Amino acid sequence: MHRFANPAKFNRLADRILPWAIILGLVAFGSGSYYALFDSPADYQQGESVRMMYVHVPAAWASMSIYAFIAVASFVGLVWRHPLALLAGKAAAPVGATITALALITGALWGKPMWGTYWQWDGRMTSVLILFFLYLGYMALWEAMEDDEKAGRAASILALVGVVNLPIIKFSVEWWNTLHQSASILRADGPSMPPEMLKPLFIMGIAYQLYFMVLVLWRMKLEINKRKINVMRQIAITSGQ
């Protein structure tokens, strides 16, 4: 991975990946939306409101996978001092926070007709809310210090500590009484959903991941260019003196 520590090499790699990621992401969102709205059946209990699942569930998946990405990047940055690892975490955090907020909002909107309430302080909802606050805390630490290296290290420690929340989110429906149903996809006896619902759900899950990839690569490129400009500005100021 240190081959891509050079910003120029990273930018060349990102420029090759981005067009394909954008095209595949648009195809995934388009096809997933079509299958979710027109091809999948209404649920026998939830009716048409079940279509909120195709936004909410992939957002919940992505909120956890993005945080895991940040934790891995933080570990690599702290242990191996990879120069772009901390930058990757910084670029990913706002995307993860936005998607986590989307998961919370759509979950509340979906919960109202199903449970009669927008919010209940059960294990799943509360742990996802904590995940959102972890994202905010991570970003706040980056902004709290002028020295990027110190800020990155402090934020990375928080990210690694917060990893303990991921298994809590996953297993909360099994550990505590909750309004959420138990796992319906990753089950020992196989998914309980019909294939017509699983297909758009997985396609939308892929679409969210491609969306995340595109935004992170863009944000990393912007951050690299911003740092280049700052270095050039400092050189110009020094030369002028």
Q: Is 206 exposed, middle or buried (0-12, 13-18, 19+ CB in 10 A)?
A: middle
Q: pLDDT averaged over the chain?
A: 88
Quickly state the pLDDT bin for 192 (edges 50, 70, 90): low
Higher pLDDT, 234 or 127: 127
Question: Domain map of the chain by residue range?
Answer: 16-175+191-240
Quickly state the pLDDT bin for 191 (edges 50, 70, 90): low
Tokens coding 79: 């242990």
CA–CA separation, 25 vs 143, rounded Å? 31
Q: Which residues are within 8 A (CB) of 112 and not within 5 positions of it... i.e. 6 or more apart?
A: 118
Q: Which residues are within 8 A (CB) of 20 and not within 5 positions of it... i.e. 6 or more apart?
A: none
SS3 4: helix
Give me the pLDDT at residue 63, please: 97
Give me the pLDDT at residue 94, please: 97
Cβ atoms of 82 and 2 closer than 8 Å: yes
List pLDDT tens digits, range 23-81.
999 999 999 999 999 988 887 778 888 899 999 999 999 999 999 999 999 999 999 88
| pTM given for the model | 0.91
